[in-house]
């Protein structure tokens, strides 16, 4: 189940990157300062925030998968 969920996260990250790239391209072809320019700038910022959330989710998934496979990693075990 965790692998299927991780695959969906990766697909979502790829899609957000594609949308962001398209918005960047459109913004470059738009008159600077126009309403459309500002709309695209807002969309690009939103894609960036979404990407930050998705990558954080991906890192947590990887962390919990690592814990599930072999117990607590050595870096997190108490020092005796």
Better pLDDT: 25 or 2:
25
Region 66-72: what's the mean pLDDT? 67
Are 13 and 58 within 8 A, CB to CB? Answer: yes
Residue numbers of the domain that contains 69: 2-76
Are 40 and 30 within 8 A, CB to CB? Answer: yes
Long-range contact set of residues 3-6: C-beta below 8 Å, sequence gap at least 24? 5/61, 6/58, 6/61, 6/62, 6/65
pLDDT of residue 19: 97
Q: CA 48 to CA 50: how far, in whole Å?
A: 5
Residue 80 has pLDDT above 80, yes or no: no
Q: What's the structural domain count of the chain? A: 1
Q: CA 73 to CA 54: how far, in whole Å?
A: 23
Residue 31 has pLDDT above 90, yes or no: yes
pLDDT of residue 64: 77
Residue 76 has pLDDT above 90, yes or no: no
Indicate the pTM of the whole model. Answer: 0.73
């Amino acid at each position: 189940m965790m692998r299927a969920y991780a695959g969906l996260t990766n697909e979502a990250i790829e899609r957000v990157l594609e949308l962001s790239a398209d918005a960047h391209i459109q913004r470059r072809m738009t008159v600077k300062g126009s309403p459309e320019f500002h709309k695209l700038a807002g969309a690009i910022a939103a894609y960036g925030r979404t990407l930050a959330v998705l990558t954080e989710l991906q890192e947590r998934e990887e962390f919990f998968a690592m814990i599930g496979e072999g117990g607590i990693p050595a870096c997190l075990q108490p020092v005796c």
